[in-house]
Amino acid sequence: MAPMRPRMLSTALTALVLTLPALAVPANSAGAAPAWTLRWSPDPTRQGPDDAFETVEDDRAGSHPKGGPHIKVAGDAYRFDMHKVDRDSYSDRQRHEVTGNRTSPSDFLEWKLGQTWRVTYSMYIPKSLMATTTFTHVMQTKQPGNGTSPITVTSLRRVDGKQTIEHKVFDGNVLVGRTDLEPLQDKWIDVEYEIKIGDGKNGSVRWALKSGGKTVIDATKNGVDTFLADRVRPKWGIYRSVEDTSGSLRDTYLLLKNLKAYQLKS
């Protein structure tokens, strides 16, 4: 039999492809694949801290009114100033933080049991914001309310004298990931954080950092506890102990921009 000409071969292949069944794609009951839906994206050039976040905890003990506001807009970013003299209502620590995701003057997002959320943002850590021997948190997730323990924390911690940035699940002190802090200071870095809210062993956490477009760390922990009660709420800012023994406490600041929150819809 004579060999098939190129045009005839192309026609035959097209006909074959058209008769093949479509590949199955995971979908929900409505037939759509799970997708991330943008739910929150504050713009510092138009929205101050009170408009962007559920609550603003700026020197709630009134320890340093002359230094305020400690949380404010600076250009296209949210700025958190921390002075060595600042104190929280507990005098062994300092706290200037914002919480939650405000979507209107009367409403905010609620992260609930069984849901999966992703937050992305850019963060600037100056060299004056140093890792400490005790806790220095720059991001947390918590159950709303006073006296509740964190669920997850991003911390600047000294490990064997070395400055690191790490993310942990608080229950069980589970380390998700850790990397050197100093190469990430005095520059904008990108953060991507995902949490599947699950009780007991039903939760998971992913934490990733990029610098200059290159992935520095991308770590995941499954089978962890990411729920206490009620709901989960993110927090950003500077929350640190004054009992550091390394001499690392300085007047300092933290910058955040490009904040976004996505919910996984299935």
Counting Cβ atoms within 10 Å, is residue 68 exposed (0-12), middle (13-18) or buried (19+)?
middle
pLDDT at 31: 59
Count of domains forming the chain:
1
Stated pTM of the model? 0.87
Mean pLDDT of 54-71: 97
pLDDT at 85: 98
* Residues, the chain: 266
**Position 9 confidence tier, pLDDT thresholds 50, 70, 90:** very low
pLDDT at 34: 78
Residue 11 pLDDT > 50: no
Mean pLDDT of 175-181: 98
- β-bridge pairing 55-58 and 136-142: unpaired
| Residue 7 belongs to a domain | no
Residue 249 pLDDT > 50: yes
Q: What is the CATH number of the domain that holds 96?
A: 2.60.120.200
pLDDT at 147: 79
Residue 203 pLDDT > 80: yes
| Residue 6 belongs to a domain | no
**Position 16 confidence tier, pLDDT thresholds 50, 70, 90:** very low
- Say how far apart CA 88 and CA 91 lie, in whole Å: 6
Note whether 49 and 236 are within 8 A (CB): no
Percent of the chain at pLDDT above 70?
A: 88
Residue 187 pLDDT > 50: yes
Mean pLDDT of 41-59: 98
| Residue 61 belongs to a domain | yes
Structure tokens at 28: 């929900």
pLDDT at 266: 77
pLDDT at 18: 36
Counting Cβ atoms within 10 Å, is residue 39 exposed (0-12), middle (13-18) or buried (19+)?
middle
Mean pLDDT of 32-56: 95
Range of the domain at 58: 42-265
Sequence-distant (6+) residues with CB within 8 A of 206 are: 176, 192, 193, 194, 195, 218, 219, 220
